Amino acid sequence: MSSRDKKSWDASPDMPAGHFVSGDVYTDPDIYKDESEKVFAKAWRFACHDSELPEAFDYRVFEQDGQSLFAIRGEDGVIRSFLNVCSHRGAKLLDQPAGNAKLITCFYHRWTYDAHGHCAGIPRVSGYSGDVVSKETMGLREVRTETLHGLVFVTLDDAAPDLTSFVGKALDRFSEMLTGQPLEVFHYNRAVLDCNWKAWHETNMDLYHEFMHVVLRKTQVNAMPMKDRKLIVFKNGHGGSGGDMKAAYDGYKGFAGRGNDIPPLSGMAPTDFRFINLFPSTAIISRGTVVRIDTATPMGPDKTLLEMRGLGVMGEPEEHRRVRQRHHNQYWGPFGRNVPEDTIAAEACADSFRGHAGRYQIISRDEGLTGQDDAVLRAFYKEWALKTGRDPGQPVSS
Ligand code: FES
Ligand SMILES: [Fe+2]
Note whether 198 and 301 are within 8 A (CB): no
> Nearest CA to 58 among 26, 81, 42?
81
Give a yes or no: residue 311 inside a domain: yes
**Substitution site in 86, 93, 95, 133 for ligand 1 pocket (most atoms within 8 Å of beta carbon):** 86
Give a yes or no: residue 398 inside a domain: no
Please indicate whether residue 107, judged by its CB atom, sits closer than 6 Å to ligand 1. Answer: no
> 286 and 262, same structural domain?
yes
Please give the average per-residue pLDDT across 35-53, as a whole number.
97
Question: 166 CA distance to ligand 1 centroid (A)?
Answer: 36
Note whether 35 and 118 are within 8 A (CB): no
CATH for 224: 3.90.380.10
Question: 212 CA distance to ligand 2 centroid (A)?
Answer: 7
Question: 143 CA distance to ligand 1 centroid (A)?
Answer: 20
What is residue 373's predicted lDDT score, i.e. its pLDDT?
A: 98
Please give the average per-residue pLDDT across 199-211, as a whole number.
97
Domain count, the chain: 2
What is residue 137's predicted lDDT score, i.e. its pLDDT?
A: 97
Question: 241 CA distance to ligand 2 centroid (A)?
Answer: 15
304 to each of 39, 132, 297, how far by Cα in Å?
15, 40, 6
Query: What CA–CA distance (Å, rounded) separates 154 from 242?
Result: 26
Which residues, other chains included, contact 65 with Cβ-Cβ below 8 Å and sequence gap of 6+? 36, 40, 41, 156, 298
> 185 and 96, same structural domain?
no
> 266 and 139, same structural domain?
no
> 354 and 284, same structural domain?
yes
Residue 117 has pLDDT above 90, yes or no: yes
Question: 301 CA distance to ligand 1 centroid (A)?
Answer: 32
> 189 and 277, same structural domain?
yes
Instruction: Enumerate the β-bridge partners of residue 245.
Output: 273
Nearest CA to ligand 1 atom 4: 109
Give a yes or no: residue 396 inside a domain: no
CATH for 69: 2.102.10.10
Q: Phi then psi for 76, rounded to 5 degrees?
A: -85, 5
> 137 and 251, same structural domain?
no
What is residue 161's predicted lDDT score, i.e. its pLDDT?
A: 97
How confident is the model over 366-391, as pLDDT tens digits?
Answer: 999 999 999 999 999 999 999 999 99
Please give the average per-residue pLDDT across 126-150, as a whole number.
96
Residue 143 has pLDDT above 80, yes or no: yes
Is the model more confident about 255 or about 25? Answer: 25
Last residue of a domain, one of 133, 159, 185: 159
> Nearest CA to 365 among 199, 210, 200?
210
Last residue of a domain, one of 159, 189, 219: 159
Give a yes or no: residue 393 inside a domain: no
**Substitution site in 68, 89, 94, 135 for ligand 1 pocket (most atoms within 8 Å of beta carbon):** 89
Domain of 299, in residue numbers: 6-41+168-388
How confident is the model over 236-252, as pLDDT tens digits?
Answer: 999 999 999 999 999 99
Instruction: Point out the ligand 1 atom lying closest to the alpha carbon of residue 106.
Output: 2
Please indicate whether residue 332, judged by its CB atom, sits closer than 6 Å to ligand 1. Answer: no
Instruction: Point out the ligand 1 atom lying closest to the alpha carbon of residue 87.
Output: 2
Give a yes or no: residue 56 inside a domain: yes
Note whether 220 and 210 are within 8 A (CB): yes
For CA atoms 253, 259, 262, 266, give the dihedral sign. Answer: positive
Place 164 in a pLDDT band, splitting at 50, 70 and 90: very high
Ligand nearest to the Cα of 113, by number = 1
Note whether 365 and 223 are within 8 A (CB): no
Residue 228 has pLDDT above 90, yes or no: yes
**Residue 92: what residue type?**
K
Nearest CA to ligand 1 atom 3: 109
Last residue of a domain, one of 159, 191, 214: 159
What is residue 323's predicted lDDT score, i.e. its pLDDT?
A: 95
What is residue 397's predicted lDDT score, i.e. its pLDDT?
A: 79
> Average pLDDT, whole number, for the chain?
96
What is residue 109's predicted lDDT score, i.e. its pLDDT?
A: 98
